[in-house]
A and B are shown apart, each in its own frame.
Chain A
Amino acid sequence: EAQVTQNPRYLITVTGKKLTVTCSQNMNHEYMSWYRQDPGLGLRQIYYSMNVEVTDKGDVPEGYKVSRKEKRNFPLILESPSPNQTSLYFCASSLYEGTRELFFGEGSRLTVL
């Protein structure tokens, strides 16, 4: 089944404790991206990657890092999480950068205390 898989789905952590949210897609998609969704602010893009070893900042990249060492994986790294990063995070992929037909994961709900 074609899908985008995120882990963990739920996480409660404390300020400053590094964490990684993994994202994997099995559709051989070139383009992958991360979003956060907050009440009243909607979905905002954090980072995106057009292909292996190519990443770029989205609208709200501060406090986050990403890497794209393999085509299928695009982890989101919070080196020193803070409470304002409490949010619902979505990973998405598409066949190539020019199409906006994104396939989203189920989401990862992160709480930073």
Chain B
Amino acid sequence: LAKTTQPISMDSYEGQEVNITCSHNNIATNDYITWYQQFPSQGPRFIIQGYKTKVTNEVASLFIPADRKSSTLSLPRVSLSDTAVYYCLVEVTDKLIFGTGTRLQVFP
């Protein structure tokens, strides 16, 4: 079973940029790479999705290299409220597979 791996945890301070990487082999060639944020006792919430190169919205950027074997979620100037678990989501052989999740802790 193809694994979609992420660092288990990351620490940061308010105002810093945070980059979280997801490694995903054998993903579908024509499907999105998507990232979610999850707070305790809540369902995951959509952050951003992209197919290739770079995508930016009002809260994050997503960088995808040409081989699509990884992706990096970039959170500019994090705040305390960005403390959460972050998941990537990819399609592998017609199945949606979530990454292992990265727990981001933001300190004042």
Chain A residues near B36: list those with CB within 8 A.
Answer: 102
Chain B residues near A59: list those with CB within 8 A.
Answer: 95-97
Please measure, in the bound complex, the distance between the C-alpha atom of A107 and the C-alpha atom of B45, giving whole angstroms: 12
- Decide if B49 touches A100 in the complex (CB within 8 Å): yes
Interface residues on B, range: 20 to 34
- Decide if A107 touches B42 in the complex (CB within 8 Å): yes
- Chain A 89-113 against B: per-residue CB contact (8 Å), 1 yes, 0 no? 0101000000111111111000000
Chain A residues near B108: list those with CB within 8 A.
Answer: none
Please measure, in the bound complex, the distance between the C-alpha atom of A92 and the C-alpha atom of B44, giving whole angstroms: 9
Main SS of the interface on chain A? Answer: strand
Least Cβ–Cβ distance between A103 and chain B, in angstroms: 7
Chain B residues near A104: list those with CB within 8 A.
Answer: 43-45
- Decide if A102 touches B46 in the complex (CB within 8 Å): yes
Least Cβ–Cβ distance between A89 and chain B, in angstroms: 10
A 18-73 contacts with B by CB, 8 A: 33, 35, 42-45, 48, 58-59
Name A residues whose Cβ lies closer than 8 Å to a Cβ of B. 4, 33, 35, 42-45, 48, 58-59, 90, 92, 99-107
